[in-house]
Amino acid sequence: MTTLILFTFIVLSFGKTWCWSDDYNDYVKYKYTKKSNCNGKGWSYSSESVINRQTYRFEIKNNEIGSIKKFSDIEGSINDRDMYFSFSPNFQSNSFKVLIVETNRPKIIIWIYHKHGTDGLFVGIGCFESDNCRKSISNNYGAYIYIFDKSIIVYSKMDEKWVIDFSNRAVNYETKTIPFIYIDGDDKQTVSCKFTTDLFSGRSYNDPQRYLFTGKIDSVTKIDSMNNNFIIKSVCSRTVNDNTIQRYMAIDSSDTSLHSICDCTSQSNIISTNKSNYDFVDCSSNSTYFDLRFNQTSSTSIQFQVFEWYSIIPEPDKHYSFSVPENKELNVLECRFESTSITLVEGKMTCHSLFIDAKSTIVIKEASSFSVSTVTTLGEINNLNQNGIIINFGTLSSIDTPIIITTDQSQSTCFELVSSNLPINVIINGGYVLEKKLLRICPSNDIDSNIVCTLKTNTINNTNTYQNVEGTIVHCPCYGLSCITKFSKEDTLIISSEYQGIIELINSTTQVIEQQYKSLSTLRIKGIKNIAIITTNSKTSNNFVLNIEAGSKILVTGNEIGFSQNSTNKLSTKVGSEYPCQALFFNGETSECSKCKNTMIDEYCPFDNEIPKHCLKYKSLDECIQCEENYYLEDKLCTICPTNCLKCLNGVCIQCKDNYFLDNGSCLNKTDPNIQLIINNVVMKCRDSFYSIGNECSSCSTNCQYSMFNNSKFRKNK
């Protein structure tokens, strides 16, 4: 029985060996299998000596290997041979993207010879699906990367103690294909660098040719200590979401300056993932940590295909138009938009921290949205009653509420932050939303809530847009209590909609204000040395009120209307046809009637019903000094004269109406039918054949039609 079992074991074991072989799920495993299974599709291996070390040498041959391969020895019984990976000189596939190495052996070196490998290859060392890989490595072991002109990204589950060999980079030094090297891991990585020559002599400190690598790195050393012409320094260290990466460059040993080189300058107006579009090769892969700059010499349109940046720093005194694809968001930690004009044409953009100055302009077009968390101003901004730094036609929102603004210490006056043609829905500390369309920032002790707009047209109505305003101020025109509308045309200003603000007349000329909006109850005017002619639909009521701003000098007059005099508020008047003051002059803090329908009394223009009845001249409203005809003064008032009397004295008639005789102070009707006209008790005209004599008519001679007495008549015979 024992013999049978042994025989069976020998038979089953015949033709098998321990070797590297393809397995399931993209694995290559070291296992006990048939010899025919050793090696695999698109790759092969051999046992060799590399730098006097026993090594498994793997060669990636062709695209049959697929896009990912995981080499694992954690399940097999294996000696401490190193693992060496290289690529066939004929390997041209870009489909192979990921190489994973799993080992539990702490005393081996993993070699990556990347001369013919895939550009941008990811190399991961450690177990990503289990916990069976090595947790530490002995000194002088780890991973060794030969660098050529291909980019490579390496990652380890622990500190892999990387060695980066730049000895072969000299061959490609004068080319533009400086390789991108990114080193990362669960823990911070330590790196040693090997050089055989000084690759950087004569280069400026920020020359991209001095770039070495980027990553989550704790410390860096040089192996070739004999070469002291340069040192390896971190020139940029950035932390985003608690993850810190650094950019390393070769800096001359004699250069003791603390350089900060976090820039990525785009050579193209398309911000893409193409490494060749930037001065540094690590830009497109690590944009979240770097500052995007543009090298265009003129204003241009920028199209974004990389959407995460630490900061965007455009060139000053230029204008850029940003376009972001639909369903994408340009996310920037710091938008350094000082002295620059930016138009967000389309898409969504988030600036966590926005930096601006007096020369900044940010325009949000209709098809775009802009979000911000904090705003910092640099230098003093003096743009009161001009367009805001941010001009909004689209959507303006806040990441956090409220938006926090930090103004420069030199800022002593209010300034405009946002002008919008849509209602503003953001809240900002120290900011005031005025009339829904202007966000103004003011010092706490100097709040100015007036909005000043200057009309280019001659009409105020609710169809006006900012294009009808001088300077095309986007938050103008406005119609609320905080608004001041300046009008400088020698024309009729027509108010045809609800308007609660102030109308400021600019020119020292006669200007006509026509109130066509029937529901307008109040009109506020301001001006210096103006004559304002008011025409209004409120001609027969006193519901329309005209208020003049303090300090103004304005003469207001009307067409078929008058103005009331307000004894308690000299700068306010009611307007209507019932008011007797036909021209009212406002001067500073007071007013006086300049033209009154009736006689003024102590600068007061009285109403008709306030004047003594039937009085022509009066000293006061209680004392008449001259009455109308048919009336006489009695106790300073006018009393009617006797019947048919024109003038009387103390109730006694002294002059009768025509055709009446004065008889002892009374007026008697004529009784002689020959009398035709009596004036002042004298017969002025008799009928034909009669002539007047005194207060009688006498008959002419026979056959005489007219006769003369005392040359007062002429005679004519029939």
- Provide DSSP, 134-179: -S---TT-EEEEE-SSS-EEEEESS---EEEE-GGGGGGTTSS-PP
Q: d(Cα 677, Cα 697) in Å, to the nearest integer?
A: 11
Phi-psi region of 650 (alpha: psi -120 to 50; beta: other; left: phi over 0): left
Asked whether residue 456 is domain-assigned, the answer is yes
pLDDT band for position 21 (50/70/90)? Answer: very high
Half-sphere exposure of 225 (CA within 13 A, CB side): 1
pLDDT, position 380 = 96
Chosen domain end from 448, 482, 497: 448
Asked whether residue 622 is domain-assigned, the answer is no
Asked whether residue 235 is domain-assigned, the answer is yes
- Same domain for 386 and 278: yes
Chosen domain end from 220, 252, 284: 252
- Same domain for 226 and 310: no
Three-class DSSP category at 8: helix
Chosen domain end from 393, 425, 448: 448
Which of 203-207, 225-229, 264-268, 469-473 has the lowest average pLDDT?
Answer: 225-229
Is a pLDDT exceeding 50 seen at residue 198? yes
Nearest to 80 by CA among 61, 110, 57, 105: 105
Asked whether residue 660 is domain-assigned, the answer is no
Helix, strand, coil tally for the chain in percent (to 5)? 5, 50, 45
Identify the helix (H) or strand (E) that includes residue 232: strand 230-240
Tokens representing 347?
């898409």
Work out the burial of residue 202: count CB atoms within 10 Å of its CB; fewer than 13 is exposed, 13-18 middle, 19 or more buried.
exposed
Tens of pLDDT, residue by residue over 247-297, are: 999 999 999 898 999 999 998 999 999 988 999 999 999 999 999 998 776
Strand partners, 453: 485
Identify the helix (H) or strand (E) that includes residue 10: helix 2-13
Asked whether residue 684 is domain-assigned, the answer is yes
Which of 165-169, 499-503, 518-522, 589-593 has the lowest average pLDDT?
Answer: 518-522
The DSSP bridge pattern shows strands 438-441 and 415-420 to be antiparallel
Say what percent of the chain tops pLDDT 90.
57
- Same domain for 267 and 319: yes
pLDDT, position 420 = 97
Three-class DSSP category at 81: coil
- Same domain for 206 and 64: yes
How far CA 375 is from CA of 253, 417, 631, in Å, comes to 40, 10, 82
Asked whether residue 10 is domain-assigned, the answer is no
Contact indicator for 484, 451 with CB cutoff of 8 Å: yes
E strand spans, 395-436: 395-398, 404-406, 415-420, 431-434
- Same domain for 95 and 228: yes
- Same domain for 175 and 46: yes
What is the mean predicted confidence (pLDDT) over 540-557?
A: 82
pLDDT band for position 533 (50/70/90)? Answer: confident
pLDDT, position 397 = 96
- Same domain for 189 and 315: no
Is a pLDDT exceeding 60 seen at residue 568? yes
Is a pLDDT exceeding 50 seen at residue 684? yes
Asked whether residue 583 is domain-assigned, the answer is yes
Q: d(Cα 677, Cα 217) in Å, to the nearest integer?
A: 130
- Same domain for 294 and 208: no
Asked whether residue 60 is domain-assigned, the answer is yes
Q: d(Cα 441, Cα 448) in Å, to the nearest integer?
A: 9
- Same domain for 77 and 28: yes
- Same domain for 316 and 389: yes
Q: d(Cα 266, Cα 271) in Å, to the nearest integer?
A: 7
- Same domain for 311 and 215: no
Tens of pLDDT, residue by residue over 407-464, are: 999 999 999 999 999 999 999 998 999 999 999 999 887 889 999 999 999 898 888 8
Strand partners, 431: 441
Tokens representing 468?
């009808």
Q: d(Cα 575, Cα 545) in Å, to the nearest integer?
A: 6
Distance of CA 454 to the CA centre of its chain: 20
What is the mean predicted confidence (pLDDT) over 560-585?
A: 89
Q: d(Cα 408, Cα 661) in Å, to the nearest integer?
A: 97
Strand partners, 144: 111, 163
Identify the helix (H) or strand (E) that includes residue 596: strand 590-596
What is the mean predicted confidence (pLDDT) over 626-652?
A: 89
Domain that holds residue 247: 17-252
Contact indicator for 112, 69 with CB cutoff of 8 Å: no
Three-class DSSP category at 323: strand
Range among 102-106, 373-377, 576-580 with highest mean pLDDT value: 373-377
- Same domain for 532 and 465: yes
Q: What is the CA radius of gyration of the chain?
A: 51
Domain count for the chain: 4
